[in-house]
Amino acid sequence: MSRRETRAGYAFLTPWLIGFLGLTLGPMIYSLYLAFTKYNLFQDPQWIGLDNFVRMFTNDPVYIQSVQITLVYVLVGTPIKLAAALGIAMLLNYRDKGAGFYRSSFYAPSLIGASVSVAIVWRAMFSTDGPVDNSLSLFGINLGGWVGNVSLVMPMMILLAVWQFGAPMVIFLAGLKQIPRELYEAAEVDGAGPFRKFRSVTLPMLSSVIFFNLLLETINAFQVFASAYIISNGSGGPAGMTNFYTVYLYKRGFPDGQMGYASAMAWVLVIVVAIIAFVLFKTSKSWVHYAGENR
């Protein structure tokens, strides 16, 4: 490579590098510093060491609750969402006529699912006088609204997440298209039925795609914010059941002005997600199969 090409490469890289240092790495380092301080936007940061982290786990029951409901949301919502995405992808894989239309229709919610407008519509749909409750009342089921019901607001939030299965569905569908038809034919010769073919052919050949979607959707689930904040009007109610981790982090950082504490919360989230990703990568060696790999 000539010096001229090298200079050109650095010239194209420099704007991105400046943006990364100034808008990403710099704020991250400053946030890490703030995590060890008491800082409320109206006074200079005061170094307090690990006090913010100790407070989280020993003197903040609301924080513990936000962790618990976020884990429920992630552990329940993510598998259901991936199962729905895989099921629809398999149906589309066996259907040629109109597949493009259905694929686009199922994918559309993923494009708008995290928007404020959808959260507002969702809140109206599941309110006391909303169409969902009105429809159920025709069958004698009177729930009195999902938004204000402690028992129903979490299922409603999970349902909203599952409704946005379009993105993993498209990825699953692409993976299904790559599975050689000969493998299914060989399984049929051996007398395998639909379930056996799914377990012995589809799942192993799709394992790398499942791993990718599982990792991506798990990380996304931990970051749920807009829908919970809008649906609860920023309160995190009822009884804190929509006070997800990121919602509580935002409330501590901005309305309450506790930027040091919020920064500490943010870094705990980063560490937890990093650990989960590390565990998934480590355990993937035992169940993820890549094409052309000999075991």
pLDDT bin (cut points 50, 70, 90) of residue 1 is low
State the pLDDT at residue 114: 66
Burial 28-62 (b: 16+ CB within 10 A, else e): eeebeebbbbbbeeeeebeebeebbbeebeeebee
Tokens of 130: 């909303």
CB atoms inside a 10 Å sphere around CB 114: 18
Q: What is the average per-residue pLDDT within 158-172? A: 93
* pLDDT at 184 > cutoff 70: yes
Q: What is the average per-residue pLDDT within 263-291? A: 92
**Measured between alpha carbons, how far is 278 from 282 in angstroms, rounded to an integer?**
6
Residue for token digits 């402690």?
150
* Mean pLDDT value across the chain: 89
pLDDT bin (cut points 50, 70, 90) of residue 99 is confident
State the pLDDT at residue 140: 81
State the pLDDT at residue 154: 95
Q: Are 37 and 260 in contact (CB under 8 A)?
A: yes
* pLDDT at 295 > cutoff 60: no
HEC assignment per residue over the chain: CCHHHHHHHHHHHHHHHHHHHHHHHHHHHHHHHHCCEECCCCCCCEECCCHHHHHHHHCCHHHHHHHHHHHHHHHHHHHHHHHHHHHHHHHHHCCCCCHHHHHHHHHHHHHHCCCHHHHHHHHHHCCCCCHHHHHHHCCCCCCCCCCCCCCCHHHHHHHHHHHCCHHHHHHHHHHHHCCCHHHHHHHHHCCCCHHHHHHHHHHHHCHHHHHHHHHHHHHHHHCCCHHHHHHCCCCCCCCCCCCCHHHHHHHHHCCCCCHHHHHHHHHHHHHHHHHHHHHHHHHHHHCCCCCCCCC
CA dihedral 119, 121, 126, 128 (to 10 degrees): 120
Weakest-pLDDT range from 27-31, 129-133, 215-219: 129-133
State the pLDDT at residue 142: 82
- In order of 11, 184, 227, 265, the CA distances from 1 in angstroms are 15, 48, 50, 46
Q: What is the average per-residue pLDDT within 128-138? A: 86
| 69-91 pLDDT tens trace | 999 999 999 999 999 999 999 99
Q: Are 162 and 81 in contact (CB under 8 A)?
A: yes
Residue 283: exposure state from Cβ atoms within 10 A (0-12, 13-18, ≥19): exposed
* pLDDT at 273 > cutoff 90: yes
pLDDT bin (cut points 50, 70, 90) of residue 259 is very high
Q: Are 173 and 99 in contact (CB under 8 A)?
A: no
| 19-39 pLDDT tens trace | 888 888 889 999 999 999 999
**Measured between alpha carbons, how far is 74 from 158 in angstroms, rounded to an integer?**
9
Q: What percent of the chain has pLDDT over 70?
A: 96
| 224-250 pLDDT tens trace | 999 999 999 988 989 999 999 999 999
- In order of 28, 58, 200, 264, the CA distances from 54 in angstroms are 21, 6, 48, 10
State the pLDDT at residue 116: 83
